[in-house]
C-alpha cells in the first residue's frame, strides 16, 4: 500500500482544497491529512481560523479522498510522521516549493502540486471583509 501525507489548515474549505486532496490521493492508496491545530496556527503561523480544529477535522473526514486526519502541532513533526505512518509520498502546495526537500532524506518522495489559481482562503476572507464594509449589516435590504 502506498501512503501519502499532506499538511494544511483547510479553513473555509473550498474546491481548491478538494482539488489538492484529490490529486494527493491519486499518488497513492491511503491519504493522511495532518491538520494544523488552532494553537499551531496562531502561535507559529499567526493565523486565526474561522472554524475550530474539530470542525475542520470533521469536514475533512467527510471527504472521500481522505483516509485519516491527524493533528499538526509543530513544524518538526513532519520528519517523525514520515516514519511513524510509513509515508511514501509527501504532497503540499507549490507555494512551499523547495521548503520540504529535506524530507527526501527521510525516504519520502516530495511532490509540490500547483494550487487552484482562482481561489484561496485568504482571498475569500478578504472578499468577505470587503463585502461587509460595503454592505454593513444594518443597511442590508431583505
Q: What is the mean pLDDT of each run of 10 residues along the chain (142 residues)?
A: 96 90 98 97 88 97 98 96 98 95 97 82 70 64 44
Q: Would you state the pLDDT for residue 137? A: 63
Task: Give φ, ψ of 108 to 5 degrees.
Answer: -105, 145
* pTM of the predicted protein model: 0.85
Structural domain boundaries in the chain: 3-117
Task: Give φ, ψ of 129 to 5 degrees.
Answer: -65, -40
Q: Would you state the pLDDT for residue 140? A: 47
Q: Would you state the pLDDT for residue 56? A: 97
57 is catalytic: no
**Of 2, 45, 48, 104, catalytic:** 45
Q: Give the count of alpha carbons within 13 A of 52, CB side only.
A: 2
46-49 own/partner pairs: CB under 8 Å, 24+ apart: 47/9, 47/11, 49/9, 49/11
Q: Would you state the pLDDT for residue 141? A: 47
45 is catalytic: yes
Domain 3-117 in CATH: superfamily? HUPs (3.40.50.620)
Q: Would you state the pLDDT for residue 125? A: 67
**Of 2, 25, 47, 57, catalytic:** 47
Q: Would you state the pLDDT for residue 71? A: 98
Amino acid at each position: 500500500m502506498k501512503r501519502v501525507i499532506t499538511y494544511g489548515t483547510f479553513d473555509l474549505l473550498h474546491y481548491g482544497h478538494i482539488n489538492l486532496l484529490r490529486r494527493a490521493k491519486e499518488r497513492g492508496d491511503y491519504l493522511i491529512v495532518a491538520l494544523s491545530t488552532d494553537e499551531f496556527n496562531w502561535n507559529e503561523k499567526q493565523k486565526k481560523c474561522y472554524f475550530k480544529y474539530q470542525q475542520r477535522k470533521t469536514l475533512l473526514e467527510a471527504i472521500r479522498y481522505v483516509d485519516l486526519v491527524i493533528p499538526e502541532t509543530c513544524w518538526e513533526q513532519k520528519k517523525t510522521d514520515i516514519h511513524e505512518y510509513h509515508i511514501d509520498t509527501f504532497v503540499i502546495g507549490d507555494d512551499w516549493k523547495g521548503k520540504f526537500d529535506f524530507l527526501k532524506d527521510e525516504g519520502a518522495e516530495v511532490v509540490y502540486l500547483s494550487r487552484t489559481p482562482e481561489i484561496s482562503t485568504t482571498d475569500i476572507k478578504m472578499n468577505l471583509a470587503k463585502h461587509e464594509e460595503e454592505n454593513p449589516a444594518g443597511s442590508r435590504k431583505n
